[in-house]
């Protein structure tokens, strides 16, 4: 009998809870917000409800052993505050961070409390990161010079491999031409060339014909 009564009370509580939130419509929250260290960040939760619940911000912290720990957001410091906006029947609660810190990383949700009922919004994960520090502070003119030098080096890397086969081919043609010229004059004797050259020279000086009248009487002409 006792167990039946407990079961009946639980069912009634579920029915009452569903009846209280039946006209509540949660709007889609932004799933992720990234902010650089010591910069500003804003998280919001929005819903449609004709009631005015009490809203508190809850932070979900993931522990090292894989569990999640709920923590109430402390708004007493000067680094964060909250505001409320109402637009076209949609109520939005904003959590504003003036200077985020690394320990602010976590899942933030709105907890809506109305009488004895409460419900959590979908939530937004805030990720705080350290921006990369610049190792070299270069001016625009230096950057342009570096880009120009990189372009020249890239052009050389493209042209040099293409011209090497061409130069190799030209050298082969030059060597081939030299070998052909050596083969042309290989069978010629220098003494024979000199004697033939002197004969040609004497023939040109004397002429192809001699004056018969100036010849001696001992010369006899051949009969045709």
Digit-by-digit pLDDT tens for the chain (224 residues) are 434 333 333 433 444 345 556 788 999 999 999 999 999 999 999 999 988 899 999 999 877 787 888 889 988 777 888 888 888 889 999 999 999 999 999 999 999 998 888 899 999 999 999 988 766 677 788 878 888 888 888 888 877 777 777 777 777 777 777 666 666 655 555 555 556 555 655 555 555 555 555 545 555 545 54
**Which pLDDT does position 65 carry in this prediction?**
80
**Phi-psi domain of 38 (left: phi exceeds 0; alpha: psi -120 through 50; beta: other):** left
**Which pLDDT does position 67 carry in this prediction?**
82
**Which pLDDT does position 66 carry in this prediction?**
76
Q: State the pairing for strand pair 80-87/54-62.
A: unpaired
**Which pLDDT does position 23 carry in this prediction?**
84
**Which pLDDT does position 109 carry in this prediction?**
95
**Which pLDDT does position 203 carry in this prediction?**
58
74-83: long-range contacts, CB 8 A cutoff, minimum separation 24: 82/57
Instruction: Please give the structure tokens belonging to residue 156.
Output: 């050389």
**Which pLDDT does position 41 carry in this prediction?**
95
Cβ partners under 8 Å of residue 14, min gap 6 = none
- CA 105/CA 204 separation, integer angstroms: 112
- CA 49/CA 22 separation, integer angstroms: 9
**Which pLDDT does position 55 carry in this prediction?**
92
């Amino acid at each position: 009998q006792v167990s039946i009564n407990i079961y009946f009370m639980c069912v009634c509580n579920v029915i009452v809870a569903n009846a209280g939130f039946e006209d509540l419509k949660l709007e889609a929250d932004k799933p992720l917000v990234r902010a650089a260290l010591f910069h500003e960040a804003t998280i919001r939760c929005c819903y449609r409800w004709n009631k005015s619940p009490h809203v508190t911000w809850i932070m979900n912290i993931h522990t090292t052993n894989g569990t999640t720990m709920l923590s109430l957001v402390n708004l007493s410091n000067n680094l964060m505050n909250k505001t409320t906006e109402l637009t076209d029947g949609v109520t939005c609660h904003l959590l504003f961070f003036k200077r985020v810190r690394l320990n602010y990383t976590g899942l933030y949700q709105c907890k809506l409390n109305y009488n004895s009922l409460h419900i959590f919004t979908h939530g937004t994960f805030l990720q705080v990161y350290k921006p990369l520090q610049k190792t070299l502070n270069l001016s625009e003119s230096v950057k342009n010079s570096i880009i120009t030098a990189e372009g020249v080096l890239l052009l050389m890397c493209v042209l040099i491999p293409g011209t090497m086969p061409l130069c190799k081919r030209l050298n082969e043609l030059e060597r081939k031409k030299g070998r052909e010229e050596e083969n042309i004059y290989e069978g010629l004797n220098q003494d024979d060339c000199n004697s033939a050259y002197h004969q040609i020279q004497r023939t040109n000086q004397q002429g192809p014909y001699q004056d018969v009248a100036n010849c001696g009487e001992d010369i006899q002409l051949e009969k045709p």
